Amino acid sequence: MKKVLITGTVAFDEIETPAGSSGKVIGGAGTYISIASSLFTQNLAIVSIVGEDFPNKEIKYLNDRGINTEMIETVIGGKTFYWKGRYHENMISRDTLDTKLNVLEKFNPILNLDYSSSEIVLLGNLHPAVQLKVIKQTINPNKFIIMDTMNFWMENTLNELLSVVKKVNLIIINDEEAEQLTGEKNIYRAAEKILKTGPSKVIIKKGEHGSIYFDGKNNYLLPAFPVTSLIDPTGAGDSFAGGIAGLLSTKNKIGFEEIKEAMLYGTLTASFCVESFGIEGLRKLDRETLNRRLKIFKSYLT
């Protein structure tokens, strides 16, 4: 089992979708990713930051799932990162109603010795400068770095973002972001261009339309699982990435076959995520339930 290090936000979210409102719940890319990964491994840790207002019981919940939280810094007197958003009728586009960076503004990730040697490093959506700080503290020469990012960083911190992209093995990005990053409307051409900027593997997410993988030689086209009861898309991409990292951690090597299996599991993890508000879909999930859906999913693909 490969050791997995995750970085990403641990946050409070308030989410409104056409299906209802979540109220104030815990969220954040790091939370979704680590819970998703913990479906596959208990050899994982998250480096993040929260305020004093973050409930101990939620940290304990992460621990109970086998997630090492020693590197979640709690800022005394500080407040946890907060995001409030409303999804449009199409359940894809959304408006941010409120963002309070709070303690995230001063997040300076410090890895402990144990997890600095992680074989898999997943950089969740965060300021690229923070992602870079995490990379710089990793010491495993054979590490496999996965990066997720967002258009916000392309618009505001492109140079820093590109310096991170250069160092990663696998970049996970959505179709619009791939176009924005490369200027290419065609996602296959965009993927080719991205491969020239550093990563040897690229996954482009297409939301309800699935995802594609490209490494310059191998192609994999994977539809999304047919979700008929979409409640809240928040965390879908994070669950996808977390599922991928988690599944890969169970493998001896990370080649095309392993990536394909990981994408199947990532896709299904995300499908459960979006069927409930916030992290509730992931809370209810276990490997057995995932495997049942995997069997169904595979029957839809061949």
Query: Does the footprint of its own copies cover residue 230 (CB under 8 A)?
Result: yes
92 forms part of the interface with its own copies (CB under 8 A): no
DSSP assignments along the chain, one per residue? ---EEEE---EEEEEEETTEEEEEEEE-HHHHHHHHHTTT-S-EEEEEEEETTS-HHHHHHHHHTTEE-TTEEEETT----EEEEEE-TTSS-EEEEEEE-GGGGG------HHHHT-SEEEE-SS-HHHHHHHHHH---TT-EEEEE--HHHHHH-HHHHHHHHTT-SEEEEEHHHHHHHHS-SSHHHHHHHHHTTS-SEEEEE-GGG-EEEE-SS-EEEEPPP--S-----TTHHHHHHHHHHHHHHTSSS-SHHHHHHHHHHHHHHHHHHTTSSTTHHHHT--HHHHHHHHHHHHHHH-
Segment interacting with its own copies (CB under 8 A) among 50-58, 64-72, 214-222, 240-248: 214-222
Q: Least separation, in Å, of the C-beta of 85 and its own copies?
A: 19
Decide if residue 219 touches its own copies (CB under 8 A). yes
Q: What is the x/- site pattern for its own copies, positions 152-191, by CB under 8 A?
A: ---------------------------------xx-xx--
Cβ closest to its own copies, residue 97 vs residue 301:
301
Q: Based on the shown chain and the rule CB under 8 A, indicate whether residue 301 belongs to the binding site for its own copies.
A: yes
Indicate whether 220 belongs to the interface with its own copies (CB under 8 A). Answer: yes
Q: Which is nearer to its own copies, 53 or 175 (CB)?
A: 175
Q: Which is nearer to its own copies, 110 or 221 (CB)?
A: 221
Min CB(190)–its own copies separation in Å: 10
Judged by beta carbon, residue 58 or residue 192, the one nearer its own copies is 192
Both tokens of residue 157? 């911190």
Question: What's the closest the beta carbon of residue 201 comes to its own copies, in angstroms?
Answer: 15
Q: Nearer Cβ to its own copies, position 110 or 301?
A: 301
Residue in 226, 284, 289, 292 binding its own copies, rule: CB under 8 A: 226
How far apart CA 123 and CA 110 sit, in angstroms, is: 14
Confirm or reject binding of residue 223 to its own copies (CB under 8 A): yes
Q: Using CB under 8 A, count the residues that bind its own copies.
A: 24
Binding residues for its own copies, rule: CB under 8 A, are: 89-91, 185-186, 188-189, 206, 209-210, 212, 219-223, 226-228, 230, 299-302
